[in-house]
Amino acid sequence: MRLSRYFMPILKENPKEAEIVSHRLMLRSGMIRQQSQGIYSWLPLGKRVLDKVNNIVREEQNRSGAIELLMPTLQSAELWQESGRYEAYGKEMLRIKDRQDRPMLYGPTNEEMVTDIFRTYVKSYKDLPLNLYHIQLKFRDEIRPRFGTMRSREFLMKDAYSFDLTKEDAINSYNKMFVAYLRTFDRLGLRAIPMRADTGPIGGNHSHEFIILADTGESEVFSHKDFVNFDIPSADTDFDDVAGLQAIFDKWTSVYAATSEMHDEAAFNAIPEGERLSARGIEVGHIFYFGTKYSEPMGAKVQGPDGKEHAVHMGSYGIGPTRLVPAIIEASHDENGIIWPESVAPFDAIIINMKAGDEACDSACETLYAALTKAGKDVLYDDRDERAGTKFATADLIGVPKQIIVGPRSIANGEVEVKDRKTGERQTITVDAAINQLAG
C-alpha cells in the first residue's frame, strides 16, 4: 500500500475526549471515528487490525471444533418472549418496530436465536456435541459507553453456543472453549487470566471471565501471581481428550483468581502476602454454562439413548474483538505510539522514503516494496512528499513492527536502516539483506 494513495487520517492534536491511551492512539492514528455516542466506524487502518484479530479468534474456534455461521443483528421480539428475557433485559436492549408494527430488537446476544436454529434441525443425541459460533455486531444501550471501542454501544462479539445431552458433556464443551480462549489471547500477545465470575443477565452458575491486567481496566481483580508462569496449551492440543482438557482447566483454576463481584477476602488473604496480586483488568472474554435455562422454555430437546426426550445442556462463550483492539494497545505502547504484536499488526513493515523524488531513494524503495509484497508481506510504503521527521513520527504512531528507512546518504552505499519498533534496535544493511531478512 502506498501511503500517498491510502486513507489514513492522522490527527496532529491529542483528541480532548479521549481519557485513556488506547482511545487517544486509535483516534490519532485514524483507526476509528465516532459516528454517534458509542457507535464507531472502523477506518482502513483499524479495519486491518480488527480483521487480523477476528482471524485469530476464528482459527482457534475452528481448531476446538466450533462451527461458524452468521446470524442477523435484528431479531424478532417473539423469540425473547419465549425465553422470558424480553421484559427482563431492560433498557440496555434497543427495541424497534418494523412497518407492520411488529416488535423487533437489535440483538445484545444470541442465546434465543441459536436455540431456535438448534430446535428446528437437531433431534437426536447422535448429532451432539454441537458448538455454533458467529462474529457479529451487537447492540447494548450502555448507560456509560466510554473509552472508545472499549465499552461501546455497538460492538463486535464472537459468540459461541454449545449443545450437549448431559451436564458432564457440557462441561467438556466448556473446557474446550476455555482452552481455545487461552490460546487465542496468547496469540494476540496478551496474558489473560481466567477468573470466577458473576453471570448477570446471561444466567447459570459456572462462569469465567478472561481478564487482562491494565491500570485503566474497569474491573477490580484479585489473584495469585502464579498465572504469569503457567504454560499455554500448545497448537496440537487434542480437543477430543476429555481428561486432558479437564487437567488444563484444573491447573488454570487451581490458584485463586476472582473479580470484585466474586471476591472472597478470606481466600485471598490465605495467599502468602508477596504472591498476591490486586490490580485492575479488562474483561476480554466471558464463558458461561447455564444448563437448560433456554432449552427448557424454548423446547430445544433431543432424543437420548434411552429413547426419551431431554432438554439440552447449553453454554455460551463470548469474546469482544472491538474491545480487544484497544486492550492490546493498553498492553503495548510507548510515548510515541502503538507497538503492535506481529500477529495483529496492520502492516508487517513500513518503508520510509526520507527523500521522495530523489532517484536513488525512490528506486530502492520501489525495489523493496515490490520484493516484500511479492513475498506475501503487508507493506506500507510512505512515499508522501513530507519531512522525514513527520514520516518517522507517523511510523512510530501506527506501530508497524519493522521500519525500513531509506535515505540518500546510506543508499549511496547501497544500504538502508532497519528499525525494530518494539526494541528500538537499528541495523544498517544492504537492500538485499533487508529483503532477505524481512521476507522470511
Give 60 or 159: the residue with its C-beta nearer to ligand 5CA.
159
By beta-carbon proximity to ligand 5CA, the closer residue of 111 and 348 is: 111
Q: How far is the CB of 165 from ligand 5CA (least distance, A)?
A: 21
Decide: 292 and 311 in contact? Cβ < 8 Å: yes
- Min. distance of Cβ 155 from ligand 5CA in angstroms? 4
Nearer to ligand 5CA, 140 or 333 (CB): 140
Question: Backbone phi, then psi, for 313, in 5-degree steps?
Answer: -90, 130
Instruction: Answer positive or negative: Cα dihedral of 13, 15, 16, 22.
Output: negative
The least distance separating ligand 5CA from the CB of residue 160, rounded to whole angstroms, comes to 7
Positive or negative, the CA dihedral 336, 337, 341, 343 is negative
Q: How many CA atoms lie within 13 A of 128 on its CB side?
A: 29
Instruction: Report the helix count and the strand count for the chain, using DSSP H and E.
Output: 14, 23
Q: Are 440 and 434 in contact (CB under 8 A)?
A: no
Rounded to a whole number of angstroms, the distance between the first and last alpha carbons of the chain is 19
**Cβ proximity to ligand 5CA, 325 vs 356, nearer residue:** 325
Q: Among residues 160 and 338, whose Cβ is nearest to ligand 5CA?
A: 160
Residue with Cβ nearer ligand 5CA (217 or 407): 217
Largest CA distance in the chain: 82
Cβ of residue 370: shortest distance to ligand 5CA, in angstroms? Answer: 40
Q: What is the Cα–Cα distance from 149 to 34, expressed in whole angstroms? A: 9
Cα–Cα distance for residue pair 87/116, rounded to 1 Å = 19
Provide, rounded to whole angstroms, the least separation between the CB of residue 259 and ligand 5CA: 12
Shortest CB 246 distance to ligand 5CA, Å: 22
Strands 276-291 and 349-353, sheet pairing: unpaired
DSSP string for residues in 6-63: S-----SSPPTT--SHHHHHHHHTT-EEEEETTEEEE-HHHHHHHHHHHHHHHHHHHH
Alpha-carbon span 197 to 208, nearest angstrom? 5
Give the separation between CA 309 and CA 303, rounded to whole angstroms.
4
Q: CB 154 → ligand 5CA: shortest distance, Å?
A: 8
Q: Which is nearer to ligand 5CA, 30 or 320 (CB)?
A: 320
Note the residues at the interface with ligand 5CA (CB under 6 A). Answer: 109, 111, 140, 142, 151-152, 155, 157, 159, 202, 283-286, 288, 316-320, 322-323
Least separation in angstroms between residue 147's CB and ligand 5CA is 9
Based on CB atoms, which residue is closest to ligand 5CA, 203 or 401?
203
Instruction: Rank residues 110 and 353 by Cβ distance to ligand 5CA and give the closer one.
Output: 110
Pull the grid cell for residue 377: 508481506
Residue 245 CB, shortest distance to ligand 5CA, in Å, is 20
In the complex, least distance from residue 294 CB atom to ligand 5CA, rounded to whole angstroms: 11
In the complex with ligand 5CA, the residue whose CB is nearer, 202 or 329, is 202
C-beta of 285: minimal distance to ligand 5CA in Å? Answer: 5
d(CA 98, CA 74): 11
Nearer to ligand 5CA, 285 or 407 (CB): 285
C-alpha cell at 169: 458433556
Within 13 Å, how many C-alpha atoms sit on residue 200's CB side? 12
The answer to whether residues 28 and 407 touch, using CB atoms and an 8 Å cutoff, is no
Sign for the pseudo-dihedral over CA of 434, 435, 437, 439: positive
**47/422 with CB nearer ligand 5CA:** 47
Minimum separation from the CB atom of position 189 to ligand 5CA (A): 16
For 249, the enclosing helix (H) or strand (E) is helix 242-252
The grid cell for 335 is 510515548
Amino acid at position 74, single letter: L
Strand partners, 439: none
